[in-house]
Amino acid sequence: MHFKRLVWIAVISAIFWTCKEDKPEEITEELVVVKVKENLEFGFNLDDFIVKRDTIKSGDSFGEILERNNIGYPKIFQIAEKAKDSFDIRKLQVGKPYTLLCAKDSLETPKSFIYQPNKIEYVVIDFQDSIQTYMGRKPIKYVEREASGVIPQGSGISMVLDKKGLSQLLANKMANDIYAWTIDFNRLQPGDRFKVIYTDKYIDDTIYAGVDHVKAAYFEHNKKPIYAFEFETDSVKGIVDYFTEDAKNLRRAFLKSPLRFGRVSSRYNLKRRIRYYGYKIRPHKGTDFAAPVGTPILATANGTVTESTRRGGNGKYVKIRHNATYETQYLHMKAQKVKKGEFVKQGDVIGWIGMTGNTGGPHVCYRFWKNGRQVDPFKQKLPEAKPISDSLKARFLEYIVPIKQQLDNIILVEDSLPPETEETLSEIQ
């Protein structure tokens, strides 16, 4: 009897669990919200407008652009009057892009005008409701990269970078900003090698805007290794120099030339005879560098502008005092970029090649003053650039430890494939 009862209980239990397993699963509904990415630019959702893009053409004006897009002159005048305190609409430059955000109606009436003076900045004149004018900047992303290479027979650094798909701006920075005083990049040797840590700049995540700066570099030229580490020595004036691993400045106090590209057409000569003056001796107390009109003229050293004016045969010129001993002067400019009292850094553009004053062709007459007397800059034993102060030296040596280790760990890549890069992303909105 007891056995039958146990069998019965087992049968009932089996039926119960079978029914439970056969029970259909309970279906639950889940609401999935898909967020559609907005098409944002200049602070607007472009999907809300008809977008018209163009560039400023010769003869274009703000008023003409709006008039041919169905806005009448009374409204144009009202917009221009409101905008003039924030932006001078007369300064639209030919070739610069602009965007019209227009209503989605039959007339496609403009609601906002956006002008881009450069790749990063833009000016918005918004007249949807009230008239507003304001400046904006596109988001910038900085990407840290590494690169390396070996100079092959019959090649140069530009060709090596080109094979790796890297920007030629990197070559310019190494040749003109870092190693200009220590390595002649026109005479690189097969087997010379380099490693570099640098930062690329992107606008709106995708538009490449070039090499922003070089953080550190290593160049082995004629089997002599030269490290270079970027370091700010004056945060007030924003002075940044490159130093070796033992804190020696790679720069000299003065550039050899006030032009990036140009040739010496006439040297300092106190006994020069000039045909224009009947071959009489007329001392030439400057060094002439010939280049096309409009070529940028560079300050050869840090200093303060003491003169920026036009006078007689000098034409338009700039004079800079560098310290108690040295001054430089740059004559015959087409136009000056700096004003009296401005502080300029070595390599800053201070004006452009022209033909003002007494000159037979486009050039800059570069004059060099020592203790108030004009001298030949090529015969001077010029000092090195200002070294790191004792108070900063300890901080510099500590700062470069991990960077030097990073440089040393970069694998030299000799083939034509782009090197592996480690990227550190940081965004500035």
Give the pLDDT confidence score for residue 8 in this predicted structure.
Answer: 53
Q: Provide the percentage of residues in the chain whose pLDDT is more than 90.
A: 44
In this structure, what DSSP letter does residue 118 have? S
**310 vs 204: which has the higher pLDDT:** 310
For the purposes of burial, counting CB atoms within 10 Å of the CB of 4, is it exposed (0-12), middle (13-18) or buried (19 or more)?
exposed
Give the pLDDT confidence score for residue 101 in this predicted structure.
Answer: 95
3-state per-residue secondary structure call for 12-76 = HHHHHHHHHHHCCCCCCCCCCCCCCCCCEECCEEHHHCEEEEEECCCCCCHHHHHHCCCCCHHHH
Write down all domains in the chain, each with its CATH number in brackets.
Answer: 40-137 (3.10.450.350), 141-251+389-428 (3.10.450.350), 263-379 (2.70.70.10)
Q: Mind listing the pLDDT tens digit for each residue in 79-116?
A: 988 888 888 888 899 999 999 999 998 889 999 999 99
Sequence letter at residue 337? K
Residue closest to 75 by CA, chosen among 111, 104, 50: 111
Per-residue pLDDT band at 47 (split at 50, 70, 90): very high
The helix (H) or strand (E) run that includes residue 3 is helix 2-22
**In this model, does residue 7 exceed pLDDT 70?**
no
**In this model, does residue 127 exceed pLDDT 50?**
yes
Name, of 235-239, 334-338, 421-425, the range with top average pLDDT: 334-338
Q: Mind listing the pLDDT tens digit for each residue in 364-420?
A: 999 999 989 889 888 887 777 777 888 899 999 999 999 999 999 998 876 543 444
3-state per-residue secondary structure call for 232-280 = EEECCCCEEEEECCCCCECCECCCCCCCCCCEEEECCECCCEEHHHCCE
Give the pLDDT confidence score for residue 417 in this predicted structure.
Answer: 39
Q: Distance between CA 265 and CA 260 in Å, rounded?
A: 15
Instruction: Indicate left, alpha or beta for 82 from its phi (over 0: left) and psi (-120 to 50: alpha).
Output: alpha
Give the pLDDT confidence score for residue 281 in this predicted structure.
Answer: 63
Q: Distance between CA 118 and CA 115 in Å, rounded?
A: 9
| Six token digits for residue 401 | 């430890």
Give the pLDDT confidence score for residue 37 in this predicted structure.
Answer: 62
**304 vs 263: which has the higher pLDDT:** 304
Strand partners, 123: 115, 135
| Six token digits for residue 191 | 């087997």
Residue closest to 312 by CA, chosen among 291, 283, 332, 341: 332
Residue closest to 110 by CA, chosen among 68, 162, 141: 68
Q: Distance between CA 242 and CA 250 in Å, rounded?
A: 6
Which residues are within 8 A (CB) of 92 and not within 5 positions of it... i.e. 6 or more apart?
A: 56, 60, 61, 62, 98, 115
Q: Mind listing the pLDDT tens digit for each residue in 140-171?
A: 999 999 999 999 887 788 888 888 888 888 98
- Residue 229: phi and psi, rounded to 5, are -125, 130
Strands 44-45 and 40-41: antiparallel
Q: Distance between CA 329 and CA 306 in Å, rounded?
A: 10
Q: Distance between CA 116 and CA 207 in Å, rounded?
A: 15
Sign of the C-alpha dihedral computed for residues 73, 77, 83 and 84 taken in this order:
positive
Q: Distance between CA 152 and CA 192 in Å, rounded?
A: 8
The mean pLDDT of 276-301, rounded to a whole number, is: 81
Sequence letter at residue 292? P
Q: Mind listing the pLDDT tens digit for each residue in 188-205?
A: 889 999 999 999 999 888
Strand partners, 320: 305, 328
**5 vs 294: which has the higher pLDDT:** 294
